[in-house]
Structure 1
Amino acid sequence: MQTIVFIGSNKSGTSREALSISNTMGYYTVLLTNRKEFIKQREEFQEVHRMVYVENLLDKEIVFTIVRELEKDHKQICAVISFIDPFVSFAARISAELGLYQMSTDALAIMEEKTRFREQLKTLPVSPRFTVFHGEQSILRCVEEYQDYLPLILKSPVSNGSKDVLLVETSLEFKKGLGYLTKKFPSFPILIEEYLIGNQYLIEVIVKDGLISLVAIIEQEVNTGERFIITGYSFPATLENEAFEALHLAVASIIQTLGLVNGTCHLEMRLIKGEWKLIEINPRMSGGAMNRIIQEGTGINLVKETLKLFLGEELNLEKSKRNYVFAKFLTINTRGRLIKVVGKNKAADYKGVKEVYVKPRKGAILTKPYSLGDRYAYVIASADTPEQAKEIALTASKEIKFYLEPL
């Protein structure tokens, strides 16, 4: 039986959709997970034919042992895939060693670590000013050296989902931020970048045999409070022709410099006085509701096309529809234990609303947002104009209310 092995998954979002789509495509679907709660909730993963708990998903010997057991059970391994950091390049290397379709493993590995891709791309015009702070250096000396460049962005090179991304505007914040990150990540350097002000865009890219396809360009609404939390996605982004063409050239230069010939990625870029600057790049499609946003706007199921890429099949990236889509994500401003959520059905009844999703269950501890994982619901709406799609999503989202017990 033809089989796809997935390394890691979240409870929802694109990684979970990939499991369902694999099943729908007729593949025997195997999930290797390091999340014990998934084993306890096994009955909720009906799309998964076999689930195996693996404490360390980066242990190649254990993964190969499982693969060999599957093959003894007459399962034909067609792909080993991950939609989760930091397992993307690891899964691609497993596939390569099994003689499966060859992905650009080195390029994927570079994108998994922020200091690596910054170094690789530093000569390109899209690269912002940056430096790397190592833990053995003096924090005070670093602050003195770079305080004239404030405000700055501090990042852990292995974080994702806006976790551990700090805006520091004063020398004191700079010192505290470096101290916090070096204590939290003692084995990793800290990336220090210039703070860029401008509209931010997410670009979904799929590359096959060197052919670069920009599947979607989406404008993001970023809450620049304590952390950089994206609360709105508008598709398709509205860009002047000159900016659009410049974006294509900028993305192509990034992809070619990284050496990505086969693979997917998503980029976050800002348009600064007519020039594109790279904020982030990740070696996978974006998580959360991204597949649904793109599908509602274009008809393209990017998760399915990504699976086809890993399987070595021909892709179909033709748009079957052209709609405006807006996704509104909800956060809260306090901390507490969830008692109940109301308004989901009311929100879903609004004309133009395509999906309403509420993430937490009763009893869950909710907090103000420190990462993208702290967004607790979303509403996706579609309409004939971008303004209408946004208005519908925002109005419907106001129906959703979280009732918390203070902690």
Structure 2
Amino acid sequence: MARSALILVEGHRGNGPLYIQAIQNFGLHPITLSTDPAQYDYLNTENSQAICVNTDSLAALIHECTGLRAFYDIAGITGFTALDESLYARVGKLCQHFDLPGPNPESIERCCDKFTQRQLLAEAGVPIPTYRLAVNAAEVQSAAAAIGLPVILKPAAGSGSSGVRLCRNVDEVAEHTTYLLGENDLWSSPRILVEEFAQGPFYSADLMGNQVVGIEAADFGPPPHFVFRGATHPAPLTDEKYKRIADVALSCLPALGLGWGPTNIELRWTKRGPIVIEVNPRLSGATCPKLVRLAYGVDLVTEHIKIIVGGECNLRKRHSHVAATRFLLPDRDGTLDFIDGESRAAAVPGVAEVKLYVKPQTPIVRKGDYRDSIGHVIAASPSRAQTEAILQSAVDLIAWSITPFPLHDA
């Protein structure tokens, strides 16, 4: 009898190890297909298999999976996205080809095009920021004038806040427009979304299927970029605000044809109430799955795998704690001289995880997106005040030094 395997297309620094472990807990063999498996350090240490394949090619993925079926019973397929979210649509097409449960690829493609996503949400009456699509500098300037400064400029495709910037005056609009229209491998088209800056507290709703599992509160580092500084589950909300955010989040699913597997929906609470900033047709890529498990006892990764293999998930909350993350953000570019305190921080009672992403002598070049973080600390306890105190105590024990790059004469 063939051994059962679960295919992972590409990997993920945060969620990848969680999926490998959960797959093994199901008695399945994890196989990662990646253009460059060596980029995922955890594949070198975990008991899993990795195969080099061009994951940009659906035909190559089908060919590889067809070959694997000679040795394994493929129980399911899923994958991870980085800056290019179109890969998750290919995962959906791969599932369809092999008649396996998976996301609707057409819905994923519509959702990953931020302009199309905006159009569909607006047509369904979902509250969103005022927006315009632009393809050149003149159209960006015109859209910014029509909406009114400050505005958000972002590429119409991509993730992780890459290319997203708050522009507070016409000079910043012109500067960032030049950047977005320049040659850049991170986004495939010159289309730019110009959006109203929806001001207010930021929240993120985590859904599995058609159910809201929890709502997270998050904050950012200094503008003009949107780099996450911290996140807390559950968000400090009244019952009324929770319901309003949950209702708006759920209304996004039929508008976009979603509702299979995980969805992450970002919102802000404005003077108009909850406004949808973005819908991500996947599990959040940050520390969110770990926070949900610590806060509620719900393992989003395990429940997702149940759906992948054709089963039913159980989202019943088993306890009620407060879990929070603090991301470590450098304040300058340069060479990392040292970073230490990891073991001391991990020893603080209530700390669930301390992870450093970089080593000494690493060049630090901030990009204004999720790649700027050099580590994180996670803590959990029965109360919000206690969790915040634990987190601060642990973060205070971590120190680093960055020597600015030498200046060169022009």
Q: TM-score normalised to the size of structure 2?
A: 0.91
Distance 1:125-1:70 versus aligned 2 partners, 3 A rule: closer
Structure 2, unaligned runs of 5 or more: 406-410
Q: Which residue of 1 aligns with 2:333?
A: 335
> SS of the counterpart of 1:100?
coil
Partners of 1:6 and 1:32 within 8 A in 2: yes
Kindly tell me: are residues 178 and 116 of structure 1, through their superposed partners in 2, closer, same or farther at Cα, counting changes over 3 Å?
same
Alignment of structure 1 residues 121-160 onto 2, 5 Å: 121-123=121-123, 124-135=125-136, 139-140=137-138, 142-144=140-142, 146-147=144-145, 149-160=148-159
Aligned pairs (5 A) from 1:107-126: 107-123=107-123, 124-126=125-127
Q: Which runs of 5+ in 1 are unaligned?
A: none
Which of 366, 369, 372 lines up with 1:371 in the alignment?
369
Runs of 4+ in 1 over 4 A off after TM superposition: none
Structure 1 residues 4-403: aligned runs within 5 Å: 4-10=6-12, 12-35=13-36, 37-38=38-39, 44-48=44-48, 50-54=49-53, 56-73=54-71, 75-84=72-81, 85-123=85-123, 124-135=125-136, 139-140=137-138, 142-144=140-142, 146-147=144-145, 149-183=148-182, 184=184, 185=187, 187-207=189-209, 212-273=210-271, 275-368=273-366, 370-403=368-401
SS at match of 2:86: coil
Which deviates the most, 114-123 or 184-193? 184-193
Amino acid at match of 2:5: T
Separation in structure 2 between the aligned mates of residue 220 and residue 133 of structure 1, nearest angstrom: 29
Q: Compared with structure 1, are the counterparts of its residues 2 and 43 closer, same or farther at alpha carbon in structure 2 (3 Å cutoff)?
A: closer
Give the superposition deviation at 1:187: 2.6
Please give the secondary structure, in 2, of the residue aligned with 1:87.
Answer: helix
Q: CA deviation at 1:259?
A: 1.6
**Secondary structure at 2:269's aligned position in 1?**
strand
Please give the secondary structure, in 2, of the residue aligned with 1:72.
coil
Aligned position for 2:4: 2
Give CA-to-partner distance per residue, 1:143-187, whole Å, 9 cap, x none: 145325111001112221111001111112112211210113573
Give me the whole-angstrom Cα distance separating, in 2, the residues matched to 1:281 and 1:221.
18
Distance in 2 (CA, whole Å) between partners of 1:191 and 1:45 is 41
Q: For residues 210-231 of structure 1, what are the alpha-carbon distances to aligned partners after superposition, in whole Å with 9 as ceiling and x for unaligned?
A: xx11112010012241311111
RMSD: 1.9
Q: Distance in 1 between matches of 2:150 and 2:403?
A: 37
2:408 alignment partner in structure 1? none
Q: Distance in 2 between matches of 1:43 and 1:118?
A: 37
Contact 1:71–1:77 (8 Å) recurs in 2 = yes
Letter in 2 for 1:333: D
Q: Match for 2:286: what amino acid?
A: G
* Number of aligned residue pairs: 395
| Structure 1 residues 24 and 405, CA gap change in structure 2 (3 angstroms) | farther
Residues 341 and 272 of structure 1, relative CA distance in 2, 3 Å threshold? same
Question: For the Cα contact (< 8 Å) 1:205–1:215, is it kept in 2?
Answer: yes
Per-residue CA shift, 1:243-296, capped at 9, x if unaligned?
222122211211111121323210110011251101111111111322211111
When normalised by structure 1's length, the TM-score is 0.92
Identity %: 22
Residues 103 and 263 of structure 1 are in contact (CA less than 8 Å); yes or no, is this contact kept in structure 2?
Answer: yes
Shift of 1:88: 1.4
